[in-house]
Amino acid sequence: MLNGEDPGKKDLDLLTRLCAELTELGHTAEIREISTLMPATALVLRTLPLGLPLFIFVSTDSEFYVWQQPTNRYPTTDIPHAARMFAALADPDSEQDEATGL
């Protein structure tokens, strides 16, 4: 534990805040426990038009959101912009691309 803070709770808080932002943007997202070789908590964002899941994790140091591969990282310090970026990834045809600059 760093500074007396439970890293798991911090990660869950970061994912919960991102989930709330994505929901406000009109996207379907939920937090799930993923059972793999190493259990982890992930935010699952449904992509359009097919509804395929995009799994978003928090890095081990809680500094970044990570998705698809370890090199895809975005700082957890700017949750509103992260949500807009993930919304644009989930729906490439949306007008949100202009708002995010992506």
Residue 34 tokens read as 């993923």
Residue 26 has pLDDT above 80, yes or no: yes
Identify the pLDDT of residue 102: 47
Residue 48 has pLDDT above 50, yes or no: yes
User: What is the rounded average pLDDT for all residues in the chain?
Assistant: 87
The residue extents of the domains of the chain are: 7-91
Q: Model's pTM, two decimal places? A: 0.82
Please report the sign of the dihedral spanned by the C-alpha atoms of residue 33, residue 22, residue 75, residue 92: positive
Higher per-residue confidence, 25 vs 51 = 25
Label each residue of the chain as H, E or C. CECCECHHHHHHHHHHHHHHHHHHCCCCEEEEEECCCCCEEEEEEECCCCCCEEEEEECCCCCEEEECEEEEEEECCCHHHHHHHHHHHHCCCCCHHHHHCC
Identify the pLDDT of residue 75: 97
